[in-house]
Chain A
Amino acid sequence: MDSHWLSLFDVTIDFSQSHLFFPRIVTTLLGILLVMILVTRYRRIVPAMRHAGRVVGGREGNFDRKRFFGTLVLVTLYFYLMGVLSDVFPNTGYSFLIMSVLFVFSLSLLYAERLSRRILLIITLNALIAPAIAWYVLAQLFRITLP
């Protein structure tokens, strides 16, 4: 009787399909939880999405679109161009160095609240010196792989 009862909990995993066993359990659990969230919160979801649309669209709130989307664009360009340039200078870190100088300068300009001659000088020196130090210490001294 005991063994019959215990056999209800028997589970056999086919090795060729074992990679799907745990993910299926997790996906099912995730689906159930998602349905629970939608059922318990559906009244709040649609207004929240409308509000988010108004905020991003600049019709409500203090969403700094210039800095937010500027950051996204600059980071995407930084990563993309670094990858492209690393094919031109493979295994030297030059791609990292060149693109970092441009990226640090551009992002600093984007984030600076006001631009005086002094701040511009600091930003320029920082954009030139910091990536150069990082490149020299990491790529040259410690031989760390850089793009």
Chain B
Amino acid sequence: MVPAVLLNIPGTPSSITTTFDGYPMAQRGEGERALKTGIVASIFGGLFSAAVLFFFAPVLADFAIKFSYVEKFLIILLALTVIASLCSNMLMGIFSGVLGIWLSLIGTYSITEGGNGEPRLMFDFMQYYLIDGFSLLPVLIGIFGLSTILLDAENGFADAPGKGRIKLKGGARFSFSIFKGQLVNLIRSSGIGTFVGMLPGVGGSAASVLAYSQEKNFSRDSSQMGKGAPQGIVASESSNNALTGGALVPLLSLGIPGDSTTAILIGAFTLQGIQVGPLFIGNNMDTWYLMIIALVAANVLMFGIMYFAIRHIAKVIEVPKYILYPLIVMMCVVGAYAINYGIMFDVWTLLIFGVFGYVAQKIGLEVVPLIIGFILGKSAEVYFVKSIESYGNLTIFFTKSPIAAFLWVLIAVSVAFAIYLRVRNRRREASSLVE
């Protein structure tokens, strides 16, 4: 969250929506306010998901396991359609999202996902480098990190507040009154985070995007979202922190890891000789209670440390840019190189997507749908192709189950609401011009 708010670089993919409002707030001197808003929203999301995990784990796990490829594809379609509502220009937004999906498909159709292992969307000489496609982390760091540096370099750092510095303070101060009227947003976003966390493999970024776009759709006033509205940070941070508890549900009840973190946890359980699955809770009551206590304690500790010391922790941002930016590029190299245990092409990916991100912003492409499309593209392909391979008919996407029908309703409502809001905003703008 800290780099997302202060540097416009998401520390994890699920913090991506935090940058939409966090960074604009930091730019106008409300960095501390944005961070504290995020911290409070995070602890709410974390504790909410811990409570859901504790009270409803068996019931919710039963529900999530009913999701087949069809419903998983529709969940992704829902996430992708709602991102169109994030964009100032819907056509460019949809184009950017589809371009993101297209970029994610470069590489081979993975055998581990049930594909045939054949390469596509590249020339033969690229196969050595792109056999597994572009790695997510270097792409993210490139588009958000390096392109931000290039944009600043182009301006000669002239437009940065305080000449080369982003102010942590100076604007409006944090107060708990920010959360007045945000209870619905908190509960809905935490619920979305917990629910998406339970769906194996859908991932944290889908949760925060879904929560953010639903807040944009359903809040009374979403006109400031994307320009520095605390409600955007509340939606993003409560949902992405709620993932932690949600992702543990399929792990502890079915033995299926919900995300990469729980995939590592399953390894830790294996090392301890504990079998994770339907019998886990009954056979390991002590461990089960300990995990719940640890989850709550981790959230409380995070809150205590971050809330009271954020001013000092975030001081890093007051370092002059001529000192900070070279170090950011250096650490970006570390992240990109280490993610796949030492592949130099991942470092070049950083540069490729840094320049691409810069050009994309210049020609009016929407970076956020592009990234979301990239993150969800591969999963969308697997779920779509496997659904058709299994059922052989396109109507299955509508008729598979009541859940599928419900997801179509959500998609339709989301799109209709986005169009309604757009028309309403246009009318308001037109009437204010007349006045």
Binding site for B on A (CB under 8 A): 6, 9-13, 15-16, 18-23, 26-27, 29-30, 33-34, 36-37, 40, 48, 52, 62-64, 67-68, 70-72, 75-76, 78-79, 82-83, 86, 91, 96, 100, 103-104, 107-108, 111-113, 122-123, 126-127, 130-131, 134, 138, 144-147
Contact = CB atoms under 8 A, between A and B. Distances in A.
B98 to A, nearest CB: 5
Contact of B388 (A11, A23, A33, A72): A11
A10 B326 contact: no
8 contacts: A11-B388, A15-B116, A18-B109, A22-B384, A29-B98, A82-B347, A96-B337, A104-B327
B392 interface: yes
A92 to B, nearest CB: 12
B256 to A, nearest CB: 24
B329 A22 contact: no
B118 interface: yes
B353 to A, nearest CB: 12
A21 B119 CA distance: 12
A52 B362 CA distance: 9
B176 interface: no
Given A19-B109, A22-B381, A130-B330, A123 B393 contact: no
Contacts of B156: 62, 64, 67
Nearest to A36: B91
Contacts of B120: 19-20, 23
A123 B392 contact: no
Given A20-B120, A72-B150, A82-B344, 20 more contacts: A9-B393, A9-B395, A13-B388, A16-B116, A16-B118, A19-B120, A33-B91, A48-B363, A64-B158, A68-B150, A71-B149, A75-B329, A100-B333, A103-B330, A111-B157, A111-B321, A113-B322, A123-B322, A134-B334, A146-B334
B162 interface: no
B153 interface: yes
Contacts of B161: none
Given A13-B388, A40-B91, A30 B327 contact: no
Contact of B392 (A11, A48, A63, A122): A11
B164 interface: yes
B347 A113 contact: no
A33 B392 contact: no
B105 interface: yes
Contacts of B326: 103-104, 107-108, 111, 127
A26 B392 contact: no
Nearest to B101: A26
Contacts of A20: 118, 120
B116 A18 contact: yes
Contact of B327 (A21, A130, A138): A130
B389 A18 contact: yes
Interface string B40-81: 000000000000000000000000000000000000000000
Given A10-B392, A18-B115, A18-B116, A34 B95 contact: yes
A23 B105 contact: yes
Interface of B: 91-92, 94-95, 98-99, 101-102, 105, 108-109, 115-121, 146, 149-150, 153-158, 163-164, 321-323, 325-327, 329-331, 333-334, 337-338, 341-342, 344, 347-348, 350-351, 354-355, 362-363, 377, 380-381, 384-385, 388-389, 392-395
B329 A103 contact: yes
B91 A37 contact: yes
Nearest to B108: A19
A104 B331 CA distance: 11
Contact of B154 (A64, A96, A103, A113): A64
A63 B105 CA distance: 35
A62, A75, A108, A123 — most chain B CB neighbours (10 Å): A75
Given A33-B94, A34-B95, A123 B334 contact: no
Given A18-B109, A19-B109, A134-B331, A30 B102 contact: yes
